[in-house]
């Protein structure tokens, strides 16, 4: 996790987390995952958003992520935990300009894989 990741609310999230928990891979317990269709009145089209609640292994700290404009396939194996959460900023790393902005995935077991345009994060 870093402040220039492009994730909305990342600065506040980092300020609320202990230093040893400021890494995505610390949050492997999946408590909730839901997605839903909304109508975007600014862009005049329907889109899918998703929300995921994660915690550390001991469930001392929970975080909430909102994934806006989920694109493509959602891959999610129905397990209670993932082995290594990672988030890639595809605009920054790959030069994508619009549409796909982030890839949220489990880099070890491929238990989750979601592409989205924007991510918002906060500590619960």
**What are the tens digits of pLDDT across the range 29-60?**
888 889 899 998 887 889 899 999 999 888 89
Structural tokens at position 42 = 């600014």
Q: Say how far apart CA 30 and CA 22 lie, in whole Å.
A: 17
SS3 91: helix
**94 near 104, Cβ under 8 Å?**
no
Domain ranges of the chain: 10-123
Q: Tens digit of pLDDT for each residue in 52-63?
A: 999 988 889 999
Evaluate if residue 88 carries a pLDDT over 70: yes
Q: What is the pLDDT of residue 96?
A: 60
SS3 62: strand
Q: Say how far apart CA 5 and CA 61 lie, in whole Å.
A: 21
Please provide the DSSP assignment of 11-25 as one string: HHHHHHS-GGG-SGG
């Amino acid at each position: 996790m870093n402040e220039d990741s492009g994730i909305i609310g990342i600065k506040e999230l980092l300020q609320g987390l202990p230093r040893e928990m400021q890494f995505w891979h610390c949050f492997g317990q999946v408590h909730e995952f839901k997605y839903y269709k909304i109508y975007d009145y600014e862009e005049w089209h329907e889109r899918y958003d998703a929300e995921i609640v994660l915690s550390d292994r001991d469930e001392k700290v929970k975080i909430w992520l909102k994934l806006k404009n989920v694109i493509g396939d959602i891959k999610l194996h129905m397990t209670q935990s993932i082995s290594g959460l990672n988030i890639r900023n595809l605009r920054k790393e790959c030069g994508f300009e619009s549409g796909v902005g982030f890839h949220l995935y489990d880099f070890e077991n491929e238990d989750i894989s979601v592409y989205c345009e924007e991510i918002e994060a906060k500590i619960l």
